[in-house]
């Protein structure tokens, strides 16, 4: 069943019925001010930090779901009938409905009883506000008198405190109303210099700023008393729940159209200029901003600019392949999701509240892989932020808050894979930009001292080498990439955190996954060192990589696949000798990506890669993707931790954990198996899964973190969409390894590994200031690469001068 369709020309997903299986959301904002918005106008907004600068309130896990949002109400003042043009929250039947999620904007349109409404929601670039542009049209044969009510529920800034500290919060709420603008100023008179505002372009018939006055006692958003009565009360909030509601009366002649603009914004005054009078907000700086964005011409120009900006960003890579789902995801939605994920890390979505998680260290490093080509300047800044959360010993805070950019003590450190991901993120940046100057930038450690970025990378590798177990494999610490594999925790206390509780000392738990990641990172740093004129370092890092690869081949190989780990007592995890959890996906992908077991490696057994990938296909592949492990754990295994606390088939206990699937795509491409690589790509491609939306449930335009595995009764159902490393890694897998357009330090490599049924494809890639027009085709003769008509040796396209256009022809031998 489909709930909508793709409009590729407009770069929009069109939802044609409001009752999607779960809220299908989009993101507003591109830099400092953000919001999530669902297909029925649910969601909330924040400035920079979804916990510490929350503007509006939202209720997760509410009944009914998706509760709280950017709500508008329309009331026919001649009949008293009212409805929501976004369907929610009144859920009144509409004559027609359409939601268009675009790139950083959403439009919701509907009609009822001859009144058509269309609301555009977006954040003008560079501004700390959002625009709601409501357009009303009277399609009746007679005049219409319509009341428009707007509605937002203000949060008291710190979202954690807002949802818990009621003994204080019920007494702190404050507002001002000036010139029809509602200013939310809770705590402004003390330690805050910022406030929120809610403005309207039309003269007001009334307003409310106290929630109960607008909704009425014992009422919800679905039946506000003010809307039912057709008048607001002019309430001023003193404590309790500050609210923002405007009342506008509109008379429309037959066929007439009226535009009403609402602004929800954030403003921060200089501390020395906070007040215009005792207790009164100084509005001198924000007033011109409000006046500007209430003008229709400014709104229209900003919206056009936003769309043009996204068109330019997506022009970095355009492909035309034989597969429509591939084209749609590469050209539009996967790239868009990568930038959203870059902005949010894993902090705020329909599944993440914005409270408990900041910017993840490993998460953000991996997000760079899919966004560096779209936002290189911001990627450079992010790298510096991440390196600043490292410790002098090379370890790192697992998370940091985006507002303060300081490490999150509540989560701490000790996740032993974290530092290695910084190497991969920096490598991606250097390959894309060639900006080696960043390596010499001095960056402080979070505890003491400072070093160049290159020095930080050195310590990232040293951190692993300083923590080696009895088999010569890296110690796992609290966990490696899989935060739910807690081999030193042994938790038996309900509610205790597996990730932060005190680990039992004296264990020898080792990670084969980290060993594979270390091998990959060491090879990357060796290439960086060589290109940076540090030949001796490069030789040393290559030797480290080869040594670790040999250890994995000897102690990390189980006979047909790579082990996952050794537990606290030195027993293998992920072995054929186990009855459950015999094979895990993560090491099969990452070890091959690190070059372990490849024919061009130095290991004695060069068939390890092909053998382990055969095991993956036989044991882990399902029609809905590759499962994380098999067989799933049927009971709690205290020595393994959180992984076995999930029911079989969900999350880390045997789901299709989509993040790891691209590693197997890449590994398959590395051994030359284009059919397998593309097959795995299609299995979890959201666009390809659109026809089974009633099963998949999540949005068909973005990747989800997980899809229920074979052991689950809901096999094929997705959860935790949008904010997942799946986005970056899938873009890397399809563009760099299957399509084979791969940035490298020395230039752009064009080395496709295509499925056999493809005759070829074309692409345009902007790279370091030049434009590469790429044509890939099959021929009966042997393959070759030609640049501007001249054959070159190998598959690396020499760097072209900025501003130039280069024609690249890649001819593949027919199969």
- Sorted by sequence, the CB contacts under 8 Å of residue 81 that are 6+ apart come out as 75, 113
Please say whether the beta carbons of 723 and 352 come within 8 A: yes
Helix axes 585-593, 661-670, angle to 10 degrees: 40
Number of alpha carbons in the 13 Å side-chain half-sphere of residue 228: 12
The two tokens of residue 549 are 């690869």
- Sorted by sequence, the CB contacts under 8 Å of residue 341 that are 6+ apart come out as 367, 370, 371, 722, 723, 724, 725, 727, 728
Chain centroid, CA 311 distance in Å: 20
SS (H, E, C) 177-190: EECCEEEECCCCCC
Among 116, 117, 83, 120, which residue's Cα sits nearest to residue 104?
120
CA atoms of 411 and 346, how far apart (whole Å):
14
Please return the burial class of 270, using the count of CB atoms within 10 Å of its CB with bins 0-12, 13-18 and 19+.
Answer: exposed
| Residue pointed to by tokens 């999530």 | 36
The two tokens of residue 452 are 């160049």
Please say whether the beta carbons of 33 and 130 come within 8 A: yes
Among 113, 17, 21, 26, which residue's Cα sits nearest to residue 69?
26
Please return the burial class of 505, using the count of CB atoms within 10 Å of its CB with bins 0-12, 13-18 and 19+.
Answer: exposed
Chain centroid, CA 439 distance in Å: 27
DSSP code string of 108-146: EEEEETTEEEEEEEE--TT-SEEEEEEEEEE-SSS-EEE
Q: Which amino acids are annotated catalytic?
A: 483
CB neighbours (10 Å) of residue 257?
A: 12
- Which CA distances in Å does 734 have to 453, 478, 811? 30, 32, 19
């Amino acid at each position: 069943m489909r709930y909508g369709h793709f409009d590729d020309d407009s770069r929009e997903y069109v939802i044609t019925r409001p009752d999607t299986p779960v809220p299908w959301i989009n993101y507003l904002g591109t830099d400092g001010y953000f919001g999530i918005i669902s297909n029925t106008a649910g969601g909330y907004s924040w400035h920079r930090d979804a916990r510490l600068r929350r503007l509006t309130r939202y209720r997760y896990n509410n009944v009914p779901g998706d509760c709280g949002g950017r709500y508008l109400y329309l009331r026919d003042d001649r009949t008293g009938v009212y409805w929501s043009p976004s369907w929610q929250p009144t859920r009144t039947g509409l004559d027609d409905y359409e939601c268009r999620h675009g790139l950083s904007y959403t439009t919701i349109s509907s009609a009822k009883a001859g009144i058509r409404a269309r609301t555009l929601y977006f954040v003008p670039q560079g501004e700390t506000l959002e625009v709601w542009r409501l357009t009303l049209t009277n399609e009746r044969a007679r005049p219409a008198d319509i009341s428009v009510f707007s509605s937002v529920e203000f949060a008291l800034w710190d979202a954690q405190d807002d949802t818990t500290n009621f003994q204080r919060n019920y007494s702190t709420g404050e507002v001002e109303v000036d010139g029809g603008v509602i200013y939310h100023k809770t705590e402004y008179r003390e330690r805050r210099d910022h406030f929120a505002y809610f403005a309207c372009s039309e003269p007001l018939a009334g307003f409310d700023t106290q929630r109960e006055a607008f909704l009425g006692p014992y009422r919800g958003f679905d039946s506000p008393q003010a809307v039912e009565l057709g008048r607001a009360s002019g309430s001023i909030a003193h404590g309790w729940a500050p609210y923002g509601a405007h009342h506008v009366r509109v008379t429309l002649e037959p066929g007439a159209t009226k535009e009403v603009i609402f602004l929800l914004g954030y403003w921060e005054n200089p501390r020395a200029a906070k007040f215009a009078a005792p207790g009164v907000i100084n509005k001198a700086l924000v007033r011109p901003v409000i006046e500007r964005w209430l003008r229709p011409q400014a709104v229209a120009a900003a919206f056009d600019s936003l769309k043009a900006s996204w068109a330019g960003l997506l022009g970095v890579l355009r492909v035309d392949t034989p597969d429509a789902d591939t084209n749609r995801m590469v050209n539009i939605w996967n790239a868009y999701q990568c930038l959203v994920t870059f902005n949010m890390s894993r902090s705020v979505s329909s599944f993440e509240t914005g409270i408990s998680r900041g910017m993840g260290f490993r998460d953000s490093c991996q997000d760079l892989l899919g966004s560096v080509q779209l936002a290189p300047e911001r990627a450079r800044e992010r790298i510096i932020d991440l390196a600043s959360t490292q410790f002098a010993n090379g370890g790192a805070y697992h998370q940091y808050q985006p507002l303060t950019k300081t490490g999150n003590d509540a989560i701490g450190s000790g996740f032993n894979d974290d530092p290695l991901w910084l190497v991969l993120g920096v490598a991606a940046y250097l390959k894309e930009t060639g900006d080696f100057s960043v390596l010499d930038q001095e960056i402080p450690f979070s505890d003491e001292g400072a070093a160049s970025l290159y020095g930080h990378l050195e310590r990232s590798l040293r951190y692993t080498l300083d923590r080696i177990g009895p088999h010569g494999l890296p110690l796992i610490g609290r966990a490696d990439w899989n935060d739910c594999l807690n081999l030193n925790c042994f938790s038996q206390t309900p509610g205790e955190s597996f990730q932060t509780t005190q680990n039992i000392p004296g264990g020898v738990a080792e990670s084969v996954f980290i060993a594979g990641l270390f091998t990959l990172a060491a090879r990357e740093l060796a290439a960086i060192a060589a290109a940076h004129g540090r030949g001796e370092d490069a030789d040393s890092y290559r030797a480290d990589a080869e040594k670790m690869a040999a250890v994995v081949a000897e102690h990390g190989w189980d006979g047909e696949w790579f082990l996952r780990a050794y537990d606290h007592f030195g027993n293998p995890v992920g072995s054929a000798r186990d009855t459950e959890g015999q094979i895990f996906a993560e090491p099969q992908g990452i070890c091959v990506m690190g070059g372990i077991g490849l024919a061009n490696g130095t290991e004695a057994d060069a068939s390890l890669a092909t053998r382990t990938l055969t095991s993956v296909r036989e044991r882990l592949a399902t029609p809905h993707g590759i499962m994380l492990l098999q067989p799933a754990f049927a009971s709690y295994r205290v020595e393994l931790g959180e992984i076995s606390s999930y029911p079989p088939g969900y999350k880390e206990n045997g789901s299709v954990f989509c993040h790891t699937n691209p590693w197997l795509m890449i590994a398959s491409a590395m051994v030359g198996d284009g059919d397998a690589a593309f097959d795995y790509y299609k299995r979890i491609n959201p666009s390809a899964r659109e026809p089974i939306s009633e099963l998949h449930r999540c949005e068909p335009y973005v990747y989800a973190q997980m899809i229920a595995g074979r052991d689950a009764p809901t096999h094929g159902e997705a959860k935790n969409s949008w904010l997942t490393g799946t986005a970056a890694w899938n873009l890397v897998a399809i563009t760099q390894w299957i399509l084979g357009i791969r940035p490298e330090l020395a230039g752009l490599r064009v080395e496709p590994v295509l499925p056999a049924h493809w005759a070829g494809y074309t692409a345009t890639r902007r790279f370091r200031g030049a434009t590469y027009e790429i044509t890939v085709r099959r021929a009966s003769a042997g393959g070759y690469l030609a640049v501007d008509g001249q054959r070159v040796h190998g598959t690396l396209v020499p760097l072209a001068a900025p501003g130039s256009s280069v024609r690249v022809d890649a001819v593949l031998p027919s199969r």
